[in-house]
Amino acid sequence: MEKHVVVIYPHPDDESFGAAGTMTQFREQGVPVTYLCGTLGEMGRNMGTPTFANRETLPEIRKQELIDACKALDIELRMLGYRDKTLEYEDRGEVAAHLKGILQEIKPSLVITHYPDHAVHPDHNALGAAAIEAVRLMDPADRPTVWAQALTEEIDGKVRERDIVNDVTAQFDTKLQAILAHKSQASPMLGLMNTEDKETIEAVKDRFNTESFFIWKYDD
C-alpha cells in the first residue's frame, strides 16, 4: 500500500478528468492524497453562454470549483500560485526546486504527473517535466515512484503499452461528481448529465472509466 500520494497537474479540473478515479481508489484504501495545483486556470476560454465570468472573476470561480472538487474527492489541496499558460516560460530549475521542497516535506511514496512532451498542453508538459526533475533531484533512496500520464497515443513515434491501467468504473460516480464541480469547464457535460438519458451517461462512463500511466524510469 502507498504511504502518501501526491498529484501534480497545472490546472483546476486536470485532477478530475485525469486521475480522480485513481485518487479515489487510494482514498478507499485509506491512503492520503495531496493535489499540488499549478495555476487557477485563469486564462481559460470558457466564459459560458450566456457569459457568467470575465478575466477578473474567472480565477475566483475556478478556485472555488477546485476546492469543491477536492472536497468531493476527499483530498488535500495545495495551490502553487503559478500563472495559467506561462509555466513553459518559468525557470524549470526553480519550479523543480519549489516542488522538491514540498515533496521532501510530505514524503510521498508515489507522485502522479503529466508525461513531458506528450501531454498536449504546454502547461501540462512544463509542470510534468518540472515534477519529474524535482524527484530526480532527490536522494535516490528517498525518491517516490512517478506515474506519468501521457495524453497522446504515441510516445516518441511509437504506440507504447501503458504500465498502469486502472479501471475506475467502480469510482465513476465520485469522478463524475468531481468533474461536475468544475461547472465553468464542464457545463456542456453538466447539461447532458441533468437529463435522464442512460445512453449519454454510459457514453460518458465509457470515455472516463480508465486512467493509465507510465512508470517513469530514472537512470541513476
Confidence of residue 191 (pLDDT cuts 50, 70, 90): low
Looking at residue 202, its pLDDT comes to: 78
Task: Give CA–CA dist 26/34, Å, rounded.
Answer: 11
- What is the arithmetic mean of pLDDT over 127-153? 97
Domain at 5-215: CATH code: 3.40.50.10320
Can you tell me the mean pLDDT for 81-93? 97
Higher pLDDT, 187 or 5: 5
Asked if the model's pLDDT at residue 47 lies above 60, the reply is: no
Cell numbers linked to 16:
478530475
**Contact status, residue 100 vs residue 78, Cβ threshold 8 Å:** no
Report pLDDT digits (tens) over 200-214. Answer: 777 778 888 999 999
Instruction: Please name the residue that has the C-alpha cell 510516445.
Output: 155
Give the phi and the psi of residue 79 in degrees, each rounded to 5. -100, 125
For residues 182 and 44, the answer to whether their CB atoms sit within 8 Å is no
